[in-house]
Structure 1
Amino acid sequence: MKVRFPYFDTIGMSLLGTTALLLFVLESKRQLRKRTRLKPQRLKENAGVAALALPALRLLLLPCRYASAQKAAKYRMGLLYWSGMPKWFHYVAGFLLLDYTNYMWHVLLHKSDLLWRFHNVHHMDLDLDHSTAWRFHVGENIASAPCRNAAVALIGIPAPLVLFYEVIFEGCTAFHHSNLRLPVKAEQWLCRIMVTPRMHGIHHSIVARETNSNFTVIFSWWDRLHKSLLLHVAQADITIGVPAYRDPNEQSAFNLFAIPFKKQRTWQQPDGTVPQRQERQPLVKLYP
């Protein structure tokens, strides 16, 4: 199984590193949501989680998906190879279908009690910025392997597209997790096509209906298609996190690693109340 990908590790990782640095600077200057905790402490905690998750992503998941794509090409397996369409169609349709399968995987993470144990670690962050994009439990990454490998093989994704999509996927994940305040008009236009910081901020709300919305990674079309899109929630009204896990002392990397293996708490705040939001038409229409 191939593990070294020179173009991905040089050009791709350089682009992702530049994106992360740019977001780090910009979100400090143009803050979208007020922070509840000091950033250095959160960076330390999130980096501790990422220390296991990122190597698993690069050394296990990416090589496995690439190998699945190579086998699909060798044996002419998958929907795109059976379609008989030209090569350019394989790449365009493959990119779209990869993003759609990641939408479905994200929905499954929220619907499955077992998978949520691991995904909960990502949502437990009490603030949301680009460092939250690193904060995925290593168990979630490993659990995603069978599903995402199967998607690559069944669709018949070309192997180079696996690497290209991964760069765009990770870049977009960092962007929409960022605490970057974009001009409202810019987000009104962007969220017609892709996920934006305001849109994904709603997904990290402690209100269950809001958490169970806006699942997509790159294209916002999938949420529109499945009616899971939710836009009209003001960022100032959002509390980030999971209601049952509000204690900053539980945010250490060691505890976050152990959380999936402990009894899960119900979706309520420490005082027993369930966060809700009254349905209302916003005074200012932030989104189309």
Structure 2
Amino acid sequence: MKKEDAFSLFQKVGMPVLGGWALFLFWKETTRALRSRKQPRTDRLVMNGKVAATAAVGLRLMLIPALVGAATYTQKRQIGLLPRLPLPQSLKTLVAFLLLDYGNYLWHTLNHRFSVLWRFHNVHHTDLDLDITTAWRFHLGEVAISALYRGGVAGLVGTTPGTVLLYELFYEGATAFHHSNWQLPYQVEKALSKVVVTPRMHGIHHSIVLRETNSNYSVVFSFWDRLHQTLRLNVPQQEITIGVPAYQEAEELTYANLLRLPFTSIRSWKLPSGEEPDRPHIKRPIFELAR
């Protein structure tokens, strides 16, 4: 598939699908909420909408072109990993999908381990509640830097424009799903979490307890966390405080301050009182999903 055809299909079919999925998740988290809210929903819609509108410029003008451009370049020159593998196209698409997702697992871990990347990713984590709007609360700078990384991964994999856009459709849909505040039936989510990232799983990642934040980095498939032993499922949702401990005051998390945040000094992982958030030992096994 030519890049023009792939991009046109993504715009005409993929975007409406994502829009419909977002409305569905918005409805489900409205009628069946997983966690109690700390802020009025309308206030968060306005704030995260502003941040998302800014980031959307980078997403459509930098990230998507970088992914498609890298895939087009490698496809024309038959370079990268997949052109070297004697596999049918269907298997190449599957391998590419997995490798792109693994690349995003690694990218997420890097955002937490390197201060220059955390400065931008911190904007996402400072949200005091977690719902579908958080899925779009990313600083424009993070989107721009990720375009370089993710374009590079697409080039190394050596896949097609159609495949990278297919993965992007699942990536954005999965991001909306696991950030949503939708309380799925426990047994359903327990089964799903063995394969994909779910709201309970990702809610733990947004905890103010550092060892919980430094877990559950996967985007689509959850088994990357199992593979790297960064999976943590045993924290009950109502016991989680969402956000970053040093940024717990809603009044300072204005749109202007969020745009400036990456260029200010990084605060230590402590509450305003100077205390580092912690949690008593949980007896439940770490890989057992808590309600």
- Same fold? TM cut 0.5: yes
- Structure 2: 5+ residue stretches without partners: none
Structure 2 CA distance for aligned equivalents of residues 171 and 223 of structure 1: 19
Residue aligning to 2:278: 276
Residue aligning to 2:53: 51
Structure 1 position 36 matched with structure 2 position 38: yes
Residue pairs, 1:46-85, within 5 angstroms: 46-85=48-87
Contact 1:205 1:241 in 2 (8 A): yes
Q: CA deviation at 1:143?
A: 0.8
Structure 1 position 91 matched with structure 2 position 93: yes
Residue aligning to 2:267: 265
TM-score by length of 1: 0.97
Q: 2:113 aligns with which of 111, 122, 133?
A: 111
Residue aligning to 2:229: 227
Give the aligned length: 287
Structure 2 CA distance for aligned equivalents of residues 126 and 33 of structure 1: 12
Residue aligning to 1:168: 170
Q: 1:61 to 1:2 in 2, by over 3 A?
A: farther
Q: Which amino acid aligns with 2:215?
A: S
Q: 1:286 to 1:68 in 2, by over 3 A?
A: closer
Residue aligning to 2:244: 242
Residue pairs, 1:176-215, within 5 angstroms: 176-215=178-217
Question: Percent of counterpart pairs with the same letter?
Answer: 49
Structure 1 position 137 matched with structure 2 position 136: no
Contact 2:236 2:290 in 1 (8 A): no
Contact 1:37 1:127 in 2 (8 A): yes
RMSD: 1.6
Contact 2:105 2:224 in 1 (8 A): yes
Structure 2 CA distance for aligned equivalents of residues 29 and 222 of structure 1: 31
Q: CA deviation at 1:2?
A: 6.0
Q: CA deviation at 1:286?
A: 3.6
- Structure 1: 5+ residue stretches without partners: none
Structure 1 CA distance for aligned equivalents of residues 220 and 124 of structure 2: 18
TM-score by length of 2: 0.96
Q: Which amino acid aligns with 1:114?
A: V
Structure 1 CA distance for aligned equivalents of residues 182 and 191 of structure 2: 16
Contact 2:66 2:148 in 1 (8 A): no
Q: 1:137 to 1:3 in 2, by over 3 A?
A: farther
Structure 2 CA distance for aligned equivalents of residues 89 and 5 of structure 1: 22
Structure 2 CA distance for aligned equivalents of residues 66 and 128 of structure 1: 31
Residue aligning to 1:14: 16
Structure 2 CA distance for aligned equivalents of residues 123 and 100 of structure 1: 21
Contact 2:96 2:159 in 1 (8 A): yes
SS in 1 for 2:51: helix
Contact 1:3 1:59 in 2 (8 A): no
Structure 1 CA distance for aligned equivalents of residues 93 and 197 of structure 2: 21
SS in 1 for 2:224: helix
Q: Deviations over 1:106-142 (max 9, x none)?
A: 0000000000000000000000000000000000000
